[in-house]
Amino acid sequence: MIFTPLLNLGIKVLNLFAGTKSFSVLNYHRVMPNADLSSEQALTPELFEQQLIWLKRHFKVLPLPEAFALAQAKQLPRNAVVITIDDGFYDCFAYVYPLLKKHQLTATFFISTAGLEQGYLWENQISYAICHAPQDLMRLQLQQSTFLIGTTAQRRASIAAITELTKYQTLQQRQLMINDILAQCNCPAHLHQFLTREQVSIMHQNGMTIGAHTVHHPILALETLATAQQEISDSKLLLEQIIDSPIEFFAYPNGKYQQDFTDDHVAIVRDLGFKAAFSTEWGVAQPETDCVYKLKRFTPWDRSPGKFCLRLAINTLAERYHFKFFKSRVRQHVS
């Protein structure tokens, strides 16, 4: 297999240069079989389990609180990795949690708490409405734009485009747009697609870390600071009530620094008593040298062990001076 020597080389180089101050944080979202039109990027349970096996074989998988503490003490094992899952959809309990238990691993679940109350998040309303729109409905009108939904391919493309458009609206504007979509699709009902409070509690009691991810998953930079603070603090308080323990870690929705959140939001997170917070900027988390409220995460998607582990190795090495040229290549498919 062509990637075996590349993988072996990557791991050897990583073992030489990996330090004890930083760790990789993997950022997952959905793990589900038979993905609907809205879940093209979801991993199947089989692939997610295979990635867990690769991680156990080539890296040291740690719980987030342990990795954070060891990094601050400069005592991390080499090739340390933390697993995180964002949002809190039902597949966290149905597929992710059982597979983590099977392989004796832990993860951190960053949960948007509106889903605990409603059973879904805003993007689920969009995908559900379009997926279940009448077959003779050929198009949607939204903000003077037309979105074709006559075929399966068109519906998939329109879900992606409308979700991206709706994402970068204030909470109030977003809800108005969603109401318009629901009305055009004649689709007021919605299936439950989220964790329950009981499931969150069970996962916490069995070694999983629970983190906050706001209430409604807004782009914080689009909201007033008062709204942003309420979104962050309310999610923290509700999760603390559910697990009866402090919520110490936070993940910014969408997570791009200076685009989705700013230093004002960093200050809010710090003042609310979180130990650390995570962006979606690629790289490794370095609590000793970086701002602990802007730590980096890495999104894995490769389908082969060579590509998966090699990209993880490159992502780690790209933070070191002698390997800065890797930065522009980490997001590209390894070939």
Q: Is the pLDDT of residue 322 over 50?
A: no
Question: 88: helix, coil or strand?
Answer: coil
Query: Does the reported pTM lie above 0.85?
Result: yes
d(CA 251, CA 233): 13
- pLDDT range class, residue 19, cuts 50, 70, 90: low
Bridge partners of 82, per DSSP, are 25
User: What values do phi and psi take at 25, rounded to 5?
Assistant: -120, 110
- Tokens coding 117: 């109350």
| pLDDT band at residue 334 using 50, 70 and 90 as cut-offs | very low
Residues 262, 265: Cα–Cα separation, whole Å: 5
Q: What is the pLDDT of residue 59?
A: 87
Q: Which DSSP state fits 295?
A: B
Give the residue among 236, 238, 273, 231 at the shortest CA–CA distance from 253.
231
Structure tokens, 82:
């933390």
pLDDT at residue 333 above 50?
A: no
User: What DSSP assignment string belongs to 222-281?
Assistant: GS-HHHHHHHHHHHHHHHHHHHTS---EEE-SS--BTTTB-HHHHHHHHHTT-SEEE-S-
Separation of alpha carbons 299 and 288, rounded Å: 22
- 80-124 tens-digit pLDDT: 999 999 999 999 999 999 999 999 999 999 999 999 999 999 999
Instruction: Give the pair of three-digit tokens for residue 55.
Output: 């991680």
Asked if 27 and 86 count as a contact pair (C-beta separation under 8 A), the reply is: yes
- The three-class DSSP label of residue 111 is strand
Q: Token match 């090495």: residue?
A: 317
> What is the predicted pLDDT for the residue at 197?
97
Is residue 128 over pLDDT 80?
yes
